[in-house]
Amino acid sequence: MSAVTDPWEALARAAASDPPLRRLFEVEPDRVRRLTFEACGLAMDLAKQPWSAASFARAVDLVRACGLEAAREALFAGEAVNTSEGRAVLHMALRDPGARDWRAGGQAVARSVRSELDRMLHFAGTVRNEGAIRAVVHIGIGGSDLGPRLVWEALAPAVPEIELRFAANVDPSEITAALAGLDPARTLVIVVSKTFTTQETLFNARAARAWLASAPGAKTRLAAVTAAPGAAAEFGVDADRIFPFADWVGGRFSLWSAVGLSCAIGLGPETFAGLLAGAATMDSHFLSAPPEESLPVVLALAHVLNRDILGRPARAVVPYARRLRLLPAFLQQLEMESNGKRVGRDGRPVARPTAGVVFGEPGTNGQHAFFQALHQGTDVIPLDILAVRQAVEGDPAAHRALLANAIAQAEALMAGRTEAEALAAAGGDPVLAAQKAFPGDRPSGFLLMERLDPPTLGALLALFEHKVFVEGVLWGLNSFDQWGVELGKVLAARILPELEGGAPAAHDASTAALVARLRGE
C-alpha cells in the first residue's frame, strides 16, 4: 500500500469503532477542551463532530502523510501550484504585501501589489470625498461578484453614504433592477472581469455603458477591474480608471485585489484595509500553527471525515446572522468549483469522493425550511453553524434569542430524543411518539465570531479559503483551476447564433427540439 492509502485506512478503522456522539461526551470528559480551537477572533467548537481522540489523531496523521506542510510552503512561496495553468496562487500577497518578500514564479511582486493597492484605495477615497457619486453598480459574475457582494452585505451601514448594487446574471432583469431609480450622472459603474471576455459580464456592461451615455461625461463614470487591461481599454474605459490584477489571482480568491474596489468605495478605504488585515492574520496562523491546532486544517479534517469516511455527500451551512446570509452561496463556489473534480493533479481519476454539496440559509429561516430533514430525515447531513457574539444592531433580546436557537439546534442534532423521552412527550401514544423521536448522533460544527467587523470577517473568509486548499491536498486535486465551467460556455456560444436566426447546428434530439421550439419552428 502507498503512504497515502495507509493513513486513509487507519482513519477509517478508527472512525468505525467510535461510539455515538452522546457516548463520546461521556467517555471523553476533556472533549470540549481538546476540540475547541481559537484564532483571529474566531472560536470553533468541533466537539460535536463524530471523532474520538483516537480518530482525531489518525486524521492529523493523514494530513501529514499527504504532504500538507510541504504543499503549504509551496503555496506561500509562489510556486506554480496551479499546475494545469502553470501559475502561482498568491492571493495572500494581496492582503499584506509588506509582510514578506512575496514572489510569484520567482518574480518579486510585493512592490507592485502595494502600488496597485494604494492606487485603488486612493481612488476609493477620492470618490467618497468628492461626493459626486451616490451609487456604485458592480458588474461581474462568480468570483468577480460573490466575494464583494458578501462583504457589502456583511459590513454595510444601515444607511450608506454611497449605495452599492450588483449585477451578475445575464438575465436582463438583473441589470435593469441594478440601474433602476439611479441617476446616471451620479453613478459609477465598475466592470469586473479577469479576461474581459465573460459573456454575462459583457452583456451587462454594454447595457450599463449605454445607460451611462444618457448623461454627459459617461466615460468618467466607467471603471474596470481586470487582468486584461488592453481589453478594458478597447471597451472604452479610460486608463486612469482601469485597475489591473495579476493572472496569479484566481477568480474566487480575488476579493482581496482591486476586485474589492466597489467595497472600498462603499465602505471606505479604512474598512477595506481592515478586511485585508484580518485575512492576513489567518494567513499567518495557517502558515505557522501545527496541523492539530490550525483552524483551516481541523475544519477540513472534520469535513473530510464526514464526506469520505462516513459517506455523507452534503453539508448545510447556516449563519445565525442575517448579514452573513450570502455565505452559503459564497462557499458553494469556493468549495464546489475548487474541489468538485473527479481527476487529480496527475490526470488520473481520484480514489475517493471530493467536494460535496454545500447549501444553506440564514438561521432562523433555515429552521423553518430544511431543518426537518436534518433532524429526522433518512440522510445524515452535517451542519456548520456560524454565530456572532455581539449584536451589530437592533434589540439585544432578539439577538440573544437568535444565539439560543443556534446553540439549541446543535444540541438537538447531537443529543436527539430517545423513544422513552418521545413517549413521555407524546402522552404515551406510541404512534405519535415514533414521530416525535429524534435519532440524534448528527454532527455539527459551531463557529463563533466575537464580532462582525472587517478584521474578523477577513479572517473568516481566509479560513475557508485555506480549508479548501487543505482538502485539495488531501484529495490530490488542483484546487485552482475550473475546467468544468468551460464546456457549457462553449456550447452556449454555438447555440446563441441559432437562436438569433442562424443556421441550425447538429445536436442531440432533445437539444435540437428545444432550439427549434425557441426559434418558433
What confidence tens digit (pLDDT) does each residue in 467-486 have? 999 999 999 999 999 999 99
Task: Report the distance separating Cα 23 and Cα 264, nearest Å.
Answer: 49
Task: Report the distance separating Cα 506 and Cα 519, nearest Å.
Answer: 15
pLDDT tens digits for range 504-518: 999 999 999 999 999
Per-residue pLDDT at 152: 98
CA distances from 275 to 128, 292, 330 (A): 18, 26, 16
pLDDT tens digits for range 369-382: 999 999 999 999 99
Per-residue pLDDT at 98: 82
The mean pLDDT of 281-307, rounded to a whole number, is 98
Query: Per this entry, what is the length of the chain?
Result: 521
Closest CA to 76 of 53, 96, 57, 56: 96
Q: What residues are annotated to the active site?
A: 337, 368, 489
The mean pLDDT of 95-101, rounded to a whole number, is 86
Contact assessment for residue 221 and residue 188, using Cβ atoms and an 8 Å cutoff: yes
Core vs surface per residue 74-97: b (16+ CB within 10 A) or e: ebbebbbbbeeeebbbbbbbbbbb
Task: Report the distance separating Cα 356 and Cα 212, nearest Å.
Answer: 42
Sheet holding 314-320, edge to edge: 36-39, 42-45, 444-449, 383-388, 314-320, 357-359
Domain parsing of the chain, residue ranges: 16-77+289-475, 91-274, 485-519
pLDDT band at 99 (very low <50, low <70, confident <90, very high): confident
Contact assessment for residue 360 and residue 319, using Cβ atoms and an 8 Å cutoff: yes
Per-residue pLDDT at 5: 57
Instruction: Please determine whether the domains at 16-77+289-475 and 91-274 fall in the same fold group of CATH.
Output: yes
DSSP state for residue 453 in the 8-state scheme: S
Would you tell me the crossing angle of helices 53-65 and 454-475 to the nearest 10 degrees?
70
Q: Which CATH superfamily groups domain 91-274?
A: Glucose-6-phosphate isomerase like protein; domain 1 (3.40.50.10490)
* Residue 98, Cβ density class (10 Å: 0-12 exposed, 13-18 middle, ≥19 buried): exposed
> Which DSSP string do the residues of 7-73 spell out, in sequence order?
HHHHHHHHHHTPPPHHHHHHH-TTHHHHTEEEETTEEEE-TTSS--HHHHHHHHHHHHHTTHHHHHH
Contact assessment for residue 412 and residue 422, using Cβ atoms and an 8 Å cutoff: no
Per-residue pLDDT at 4: 44
**Quick check: 363 pLDDT over 50?**
yes
Pick the CATH number of 16-77+289-475 from 3.40.50.1260, 3.40.190.80, 3.40.50.10490, 3.40.50.300: 3.40.50.10490
Cβ partners under 8 Å of residue 35, min gap 6: 45, 46, 47, 49, 56
pLDDT tens digits for range 39-88: 999 999 999 999 999 999 999 999 999 999 999 999 999 999 999 999 99
Closest CA to 313 of 283, 336, 280, 347: 336
Taking the CB of residue 426, how many other CB atoms lie within 10 A of it?
A: 16
Per-residue pLDDT at 97: 78
**Quick check: 3 pLDDT over 60?**
no
Per-residue pLDDT at 101: 92
The mean pLDDT of 378-394, rounded to a whole number, is 97
Contact assessment for residue 236 and residue 222, using Cβ atoms and an 8 Å cutoff: yes
Closest CA to 245 of 224, 263, 266: 224
User: What's the predicted TM-score (pTM) here?
Assistant: 0.96
Query: Three-class SS of residue 455?
Result: helix
**Quick check: 258 pLDDT over 70?**
yes
Cβ partners under 8 Å of residue 286, min gap 6: 72, 294, 295, 296, 297, 462, 466
Quote the percentage of the chain above a pLDDT of 70: 99
Task: Report the distance separating Cα 285 and Cα 266, nearest Å.
Answer: 29
Contact assessment for residue 468 and residue 462, using Cβ atoms and an 8 Å cutoff: no
- Please work out, in degrees rounded to the nearest 5, the angle formed at the alpha carbon of residue 468 by the alpha carbons of 486 and 298: 165
* Residue 106, Cβ density class (10 Å: 0-12 exposed, 13-18 middle, ≥19 buried): exposed
Contact assessment for residue 243 and residue 223, using Cβ atoms and an 8 Å cutoff: yes
Quote the percentage of the chain above a pLDDT of 90: 96
pLDDT tens digits for range 297-352: 999 999 999 999 999 999 999 999 999 999 999 999 999 999 999 999 999 999 99
Query: Three-class SS of residue 470?
Result: helix
The mean pLDDT of 432-437, rounded to a whole number, is 94
Per-residue pLDDT at 311: 97
Per-residue pLDDT at 2: 43
With residue 402 as reference, give the H or E element that holds it.
helix 396-415
Taking the CB of residue 49, how many other CB atoms lie within 10 A of it?
A: 25
Strand partners of residue 36: 45
- The one-letter code for the residue type at 108 is A
* Residue 447, Cβ density class (10 Å: 0-12 exposed, 13-18 middle, ≥19 buried): buried
Average pLDDT, the chain: 96
